[in-house]
A and B are shown apart, each in its own frame.
Chain A
Amino acid sequence: MGEIPVLAIKHLAVSYRTRRREVQAVRDVSFEIYEGQNLGLVGESGCGKSTVAYSVVNFLGPNGRVSGGQILFKGQDLRGRPESELRRLRGAEISMVYQEPMSALNPTMRIEDQLAEALIAHRGLSKAEARRECLEALRRVYMPDVEGVMRRYPHQLSGGQQQRVLIAMAMLNSPKLLIMDEPTTALDVTVEAAVLDLVAELKERYHTATLYISHNLGVVARISDQVAVMYAGEVVEYAPTVEIFQRPIHPYTAGLMRCLPDVDAPKGTHQLVPIPGQVPRPDCIPPGCVFAPRCEYRCAECDELRPQLEEVEPGHWVRCLRAAEALPLATPPRRSAEGAPAAETETVLEAQRVKVYYSLPFQTLGGIVGLEKRRYVHAVDDVSLAVRRGRTLGIVGESGCGKSTLARAIVGLEPLREGRLEFLGVDISQPLRKRSLASVRQLQMVFQDPNGVLNPSYCVGDQIAASLRRFKVVRGDDVYGEVVRLLNAVKLNEEYYYRLPRQLSGGEKQRVGIARAIASNPAMVVCDEPVSALDVSVQAAVLTLLQEIQQQYRTTMILISHDLSTVRFFSDDVAVMYLGRIVECGPCEAIYAPPNHPYTAALLAAVPRPDPTLAAKHIRLGGLVPSAVNPPSGCRFHTRCPFKMGAICEQEEPPARDMGRGHVIWCHLPPERLYEIKP
């Protein structure tokens, strides 16, 4: 560890100009990063993490400016330096990797030209030299088929490969400081795992100082040496990673950890403890401790005195008036698993060999007159499943595996191409328009995107009332009372009736979406990624709410999610999907322990766990997800399977192997081998 930190930020303050006034987005942020260190900057959205990063590279946009403090790079203040010098620094010594790989790469340039540009501009290399260095840079990030990749355009690469290109580009000039702003947030969990491996390894080999920004505690636990937790524009806790995960001192840090569902704990054995309230807007910061309004340990002083970041123990900095008191921040006690509803209850929904295809536009004029064969995306291809009353079926898989399409087909938003759906004994294979109003009423949906869930033009109450009126759930003059009752059921009060969606936070919108879905008192609710767009503290609240509603109304649920922890927290049964097929299904506990399908094992291995002492798991998936237009023959997973047996996997459909208790795995591997697969 060198004497001078590569990056030292001291009492940084950043403000943004809005139409009315200047708003302080970041206040009094201080931290240091030494050579070869990785600092993880975590916090929920809107707490100023990215603003800190942008202030280092002087990229705050026309409305923002650094209004106080120092940004010391190798001991020298970056503030007030001329733009030309900053530009040189940004190219040569400070690099940044952005969240959205697709929008960070120029779609009109080949990878080769984009990579070489920085070298030619900043180091004045010749084209041939630059090309040689680029090849080397791509090899360093373990890019397969380097020569081929150089000739391609960004859209011809997968998300993981694009992110590798960006990291390679950032590492080209061997920067002293690498800033990564949520580099894996847009990626699938298996790809994320591989990129995190790469980040960890690059740090070991090149000793680059890294500022790693993430909202995901699990990710930060894997790769950081130090963690700074931000809340509402301030650093509230700053300590070595192991220290902070094992002994968090600030109530916010501890609260965040209690919000995370544990992928290793069975359903019903742990509770999530949501943090009440939400992150304050930058223009209404409370006068005392910023976290006080949401803190369960607040005392009278907390509302008046602004706490300073103080070193409570060597290397462990906390901004809390009661830091010295050793607050009882322990996680809530584990309960023993309570009995889920018995498995032999009636079947609510049964899908038999369901297929949903999307047709692609014709590529030639001949298609219109029938000369070209229609091509289809096989989004859901031959899926059968059954859901029993009062239970939750979790459907997991990476993006593009067809899980959302399946959900939309079940509620009737997508037409089936083949197969049959039976709901409460009634055939509902036809599209929504042709279903009876009674079965539409009984089968409702909770959507993913909080911003698209509510119509921005109407107040919250009217949108819930529309369902009540349509399905004649209550008499006309009782509608208002029933809406208020539903709002209360999702922990919102009567005042929310006349609020407009834009006056609501993401979590509140999602609650209203849930209230709307349960308004018609449905037998079954399909939840399509209900929490994936929400912050952790809000996620916990929404998940807990869904669980309460299920217990109260005995609603049957389908939970679609890419997050295995969420699914485990909430599901009784799980189906794992890959490329339109189910590869493994069974009771939840069976899925999360061997024997596993190789794909399930890879997913489990990839989950980032918020515990820095756990060693990284070893199964990693390479390659690209094949196109669903021409899915691979035989077992669809054979192109990426680390346990592929040979020709049989390519030629024959895998058999259903019954592992007992309703646990089925579709794989050619003999059952004994399935037991040996460890994530």
Chain B
Amino acid sequence: MEGTMPRLTARQRRRHEVREALSVIFASRVAKVGLALVLFWVLIAILAPLVSRYDPLYQDYKSLDMPPSARHILGTDHLGRDVWARVAYGARTILTLGPVSVLAAFVLGIALGLPAGYYGGWLDEAVMRVLDALMAFPTILLYMIIISAVGASAVNVVVAIAIGGAPGIARLVRALTMDIRTREYVAAAKLRGDSDLRIMVREILPNCRGPLIIDFLLRMGYAAFYIGTLGFLGLGLRPPTPDWGAMVQEGHNRMTTNIWPVLSATVAIVSLVIGLNLFADGVREESMRYQ
């Protein structure tokens, strides 16, 4: 931008920027498809009480293992619960746990990676070796170890995903920080006598946001996938709670008699994960295209 921008007030400028950011999303067909899939599930989650007529926990012993019908659009499961209601409320579970756990992972990863990259030296060595050790565990195994140690609950799923995701995020933040700390505006902040903490948080972190946003979107996809897996392994939420992974777990032995609970939950997980990944990929490709 060679200074030929017309006069803009602060608010107009902000609006211009939002439009600019949105144009990145809407220029990419891949991102649009991804966003549509994600938004679909977000809407379902928000409107769950409206889109389904049943309580997801209500057991109707008079209609077990029903195929789809006008009353139960995706049928009922072996306890007579409405599958569509459980899918809709399950979206609430995954779409709350997902962002919260990824956010927790980011807080932890940034807290480790930012000082490691900024100070370097022995601090960097120490932090990175510990994280290397953590990364040496296969992800699922790590989650199982953590959750079997502290017990299965919503909070512990968040803790497990935060600990499992933090090393990768810390590495990314560290690499970005090592680059940005050599920029001259960081030197200018030092010449202003700013504290290290202030330099890290105010000067360096905001300029890591591009790659971090992309990473956040990708990790949301992984998180949805892992929350499903943990539910399937019985390490997720306590049983009656509607949870896609748990639905697959409960139904997978009985697939020959009633495929609908398993099929619905699987399609739900797959479409959400694909949506998140397409969205992240589209945004990344489009934002790099004309550089």
- The answer to whether B184 and A453 touch across the interface, beta carbons within 8 angstroms, is yes
Contact of B290 among A18, A281, A412, A500 (CB under 8 A): A18
Closest Cβ neighbor of B204 among chain A residues: A455
Given contacts A19-B27, A279-B2, A503-B1, contact A447 B184 (CB under 8 A): yes
Given contacts A19-B290, A498-B13, contact A432 B191 (CB under 8 A): yes
Q: Which residues of B in the span 87-138 have a Cβ within 8 Å of any Cβ on A? A: none
Q: Which residues of B in the span 1-51 have a Cβ within 8 Å of any Cβ on A? A: 1-5, 7-10, 13, 23, 27
A471 / chain B contacts, CB cutoff of 8 Å: 192-193
> Please, what's the 1-or-0 string for A255-292, where 1 marks a CB less than 8 Å from any CB in chain B?
00000000000000000000000111100100000000
In angstroms, Cα B184 to Cα A463, docked, is 13
In angstroms, Cα B13 to Cα A444, docked, is 31
A278 / chain B contacts, CB cutoff of 8 Å: 2-3
> Please, what's the 1-or-0 string for B186-198, where 1 marks a CB less than 8 Å from any CB in chain A?
0111111110000
Q: Which residues of A in the span 197-222 have a Cβ within 8 Å of any Cβ on B? A: none
Which residue, B3, B23, B183, B203, has most C-beta atoms of chain A within 10 A?
A: B3
A445 / chain B contacts, CB cutoff of 8 Å: 187-188, 191
Given contacts A281-B4, A503-B3, A505-B2, contact A455 B193 (CB under 8 A): no
- The answer to whether A457 and B207 touch across the interface, beta carbons within 8 angstroms, is yes
> Please, what's the 1-or-0 string for B215-250, where 1 marks a CB less than 8 Å from any CB in chain A?
000000000000000000000000000000000000
- The answer to whether B4 and A516 touch across the interface, beta carbons within 8 angstroms, is no
Q: How far is the CB of A77 from chain B (nearest CB, A)?
A: 30
- The answer to whether B192 and A455 touch across the interface, beta carbons within 8 angstroms, is no
- The answer to whether A453 and B191 touch across the interface, beta carbons within 8 angstroms, is no
Q: Is A139 an interface residue (CB 8 A)?
A: no
- The answer to whether A284 and B4 touch across the interface, beta carbons within 8 angstroms, is yes
- The answer to whether B3 and A508 touch across the interface, beta carbons within 8 angstroms, is yes
Q: Which residues of A in the span 491-533 have a Cβ within 8 Å of any Cβ on B? A: 495, 498-500, 502-505, 508, 513, 516
B10 / chain A contacts, CB cutoff of 8 Å: 498
- The answer to whether A470 and B27 touch across the interface, beta carbons within 8 angstroms, is no
- The answer to whether A495 and B3 touch across the interface, beta carbons within 8 angstroms, is no
- The answer to whether B207 and A447 touch across the interface, beta carbons within 8 angstroms, is no
Q: How far is the CB of A508 from chain B (nearest CB, A)?
A: 6
A443 / chain B contacts, CB cutoff of 8 Å: 191
- The answer to whether B207 and A455 touch across the interface, beta carbons within 8 angstroms, is yes
Q: Is B185 an interface residue (CB 8 A)?
A: yes
- The answer to whether B191 and A411 touch across the interface, beta carbons within 8 angstroms, is yes
Q: How far is the CB of B36 from chain A (nearest CB, A)?
A: 21
Q: Is A385 an interface residue (CB 8 A)?
A: no
In angstroms, Cα B190 to Cα A413, docked, is 8
Given contacts A19-B290, A413-B187, contact A499 B5 (CB under 8 A): yes
Q: Which residues of A in the span 443-488 have a Cβ within 8 Å of any Cβ on B? A: 443-445, 447-449, 452-458, 463, 466-467, 470-471
Please report B residues at the A interface, Cβ cutoff 8 Å. Answer: 1-5, 7-10, 13, 23, 27, 183-185, 187-194, 203, 206-207, 209, 289-290
Supply 28 A–B pairs (Cβ within 8 Å), ascending by A.
A18-B290, A19-B27, A408-B187, A411-B191, A432-B190, A440-B191, A440-B193, A443-B191, A449-B184, A456-B207, A458-B206, A463-B185, A466-B189, A467-B192, A470-B193, A471-B193, A498-B10, A498-B13, A499-B5, A502-B1, A503-B1, A503-B3, A503-B5, A504-B3, A505-B2, A505-B3, A508-B3, A513-B184
